[in-house]
Amino acid sequence: MPFEASPIPDRPVLELVGEERVLCVGDLHIGIEADMRFRGVIVPSQTHRMEKELKDLAEGVDRLVVIGDVKHQVPGSTKQEHIEVPRFFNSLLNHYPRIDLVKGNHDTDIERMLPSRVTVHDQGGFVMDDVGFVHGHAWPSEEVMSSRLLVMGHNHPAVIFEDGLHHNQVER
């Protein structure tokens, strides 16, 4: 039975329904707040909020697929990432029977932060039935490219600042 894909309204999450029910997210950029703080923008950590949203959606879901850029700092990792990434995934594993991660360009040495129950796929992506998953910073494998449906991330969060004169500045 082929997967049917549909976005979840008002959430940056894709739902795939077929033989199993799968949720797909990407570009979490855990730890981006440290980079923003360095640039003078004070934003509290958003990891707990993302974790809560994913927990709220977990009922009846068989698998969570994260399509890259779990963390933000590249190269290396920040103290915040070393604390929040393992906690985030350990918590989600209490709600999702299976978690897959396709490595993104920001996910250097991510394996060392993840619980062993998280399945890590390289930048070429992976295929589940008729759906290919890839982050998008590197060319997908032939198998992924041959999929009926391709799910790709590599979107980056941004903040738009607007002054009283309606001048906008985008910070990525």
140-172 pLDDT per residue, tens? 999 999 999 999 998 665 677 777 777 777 765
Q: Which two tokens stand for residue 84?
A: 């929040």
CA distance 122 to 92: 21
Is the pLDDT at 62 greater than 90? The verdict is yes
Identify the pLDDT of residue 1: 76
Q: What is the CA radius of gyration of the chain?
A: 17
CA angle (91, 127, 101) in 5-degree steps: 25
Percentage of the residues of the chain whose pLDDT score is greater than 70: 95
Region 25-53: mean pLDDT is: 92
Q: Which two tokens stand for residue 163?
A: 């002054």
**165 CB-near residues (< 8 Å, 6+ apart):** none
State CA 154 to chain mean position distance: 9
Domain assignment of residue 137, yes or no? no
Region 81-93: mean pLDDT is: 97
Domain assignment of residue 29, yes or no? yes
Identify the pLDDT of residue 171: 65
Identify the pLDDT of residue 34: 86
Residue 165's domain comprises: 4-121+150-171
Q: What is the pLDDT of residues 88-122, one digit of tens each?
A: 999 999 999 999 999 999 999 999 999 999 999 99
Identify the pLDDT of residue 163: 77
Domain assignment of residue 55, yes or no? yes
Domain assignment of residue 130, yes or no? no
CATH of residue 50's domain is 3.30.750
Identify the pLDDT of residue 37: 85
Domain assignment of residue 144, yes or no? no
The residue type at 127: V
Identify the pLDDT of residue 162: 77
Q: Give the total number of structural domains in the chain.
A: 1
Region 3-24: mean pLDDT is: 95
Identify the pLDDT of residue 95: 98
State CA 114 to chain mean position distance: 14
Identify the pLDDT of residue 71: 94
Domain assignment of residue 143, yes or no? no
Taking each continuous run of H as one helix and of E as one strand, the counts in the chain are 4, 11
The residue type at 167: H
Percentage of the residues of the chain whose pLDDT score is greater than 90: 75
Domain assignment of residue 134, yes or no? no
Identify the pLDDT of residue 36: 86
